[in-house]
Amino acid sequence: MSIRDQEMRDTWEASFEEQIASGAYNTAPVEALVRSVSYYLRDRYVANELPDLQFAELGCGAGPNLVWLAEKGITVSGVDISPTALGLARESLERSGLVERVGALLEGSVTDVALPDASLDGALESCVFQHLNREDREASFREVDRLVRPGGVFVGHMLEQGHTVFQQHAGEQLSDDPGTLQLDEGGSRYYLTNIGLSHFFTREEIQSLFSGWSLVEPCLSQYELPPSEARKRGYDSYLQSMLVVYAIK
C-alpha cells in the first residue's frame, strides 16, 4: 500500500471511529444513486425480470447502497479503503440476508480495483472521488472506464462549486488543482471542513472526464440543510450543491 493510501486509510478509519461513536455514519441508500440506477434499469429491463447484473460501489462505506442493489437481485461488490467501513457493510448485508448476492468486498483504493476489465454492468460512487487528489481522481475515473462494460452505467454523486463550503473558501483553492480545498478546521472528522482534501467538480470537468462515453448527464442537485444541521457544521445556512453524474459507456 502506498503512503498516500495509508494516509487515506488512517483518515477514514479515524472518521469511522467517530461516526460509530456518534451513530453518524450513513445507513440510508443515497437518493441520487437510487433514482439514477432506477432510471437505468427501467430503461433496459422489465421490472422484476432483471438478468444477473454485476454492480460495484467504489468507496461503499457502511454499505447502504449495496444493500439496496442486492435487494433488487443485483450481485454487488464493494471497495473501500477503510476496513471498519467494509466490516459495517458486511454486517449490514448479512443482517439483511443478502450474503449470496455479494460478489466481493475488497479492502483497497478506488485508484486500483482488483476486479477484471469490463466486468461491471454498473459502477457507483457517492462522495468518494471528491476526497482524492488530482492524480488519484484521474486514476479512479480511469478505473471506472476500465471496469464498466460497453452499455453499462456509471452513477456518481459529488461536490459542486455552488456548495456553501466552496463559496466561503474559494480564495483558498490549491493553485495546482483548481476546485480543490485542503481544510482542517478541527472538530468532527466527518464534516467537509475537517476531512482534509475536498474537490468541487464542474459540469465541464465531468464532460471531459467521460469524453469517450456515449451519454453523460451531470445534473445539478442543490438543497439547503435544516438550520440545526447547518449550525452543527458552523454555518447559519448551508447549501449542499452536488453533481449527479449519469453516464452510459
Ligand X SMILES: C[S@@+](CC[C@H](N)C(=O)[O-])C[C@H]1O[C@@H](n2cnc3c(N)ncnc32)[C@H](O)[C@@H]1O
Rounded Cα distance, 74 and 217, in Å? 24
Selection from 122, 124, 123, 112 nearest residue 81 by Cα: 112
Site string for ligand X, 41-80 (x = CB under 6 A): ------------------xxx--xx-------------xx
Member of 69, 76, 81, 120 binding ligand X (CB under 6 A): 81
Cell numbers that stand for 63 in this block: 454499505
Cell numbers that stand for 40 in this block: 437505468
- Beta carbon nearer to ligand X, 64 or 103: 64
* Neighbour tally for 182: CB within 10 Å: 13
By CB under 6 A, tell whether 85 contacts ligand X.
Answer: yes
Site string for ligand X, 1-40 (x = CB under 6 A): -------x---x-------------x---x----------
- Beta carbon nearer to ligand X, 45 or 104: 104
Q: How far is the CB of 105 from ligand X (least distance, A)?
A: 12
- Beta carbon nearer to ligand X, 212 or 218: 218
Q: How far is the CB of 145 from ligand X (least distance, A)?
A: 17
Member of 19, 36, 109, 133 binding ligand X (CB under 6 A): 109
Strands 196-199 and 180-183, by their bridges, are: antiparallel
The residue assigned the cell 434499469 is 41
**Sign of CA pseudo-dihedral 162, 165, 171, 173:** negative
Rounded Cα distance, 95 and 144, in Å? 29
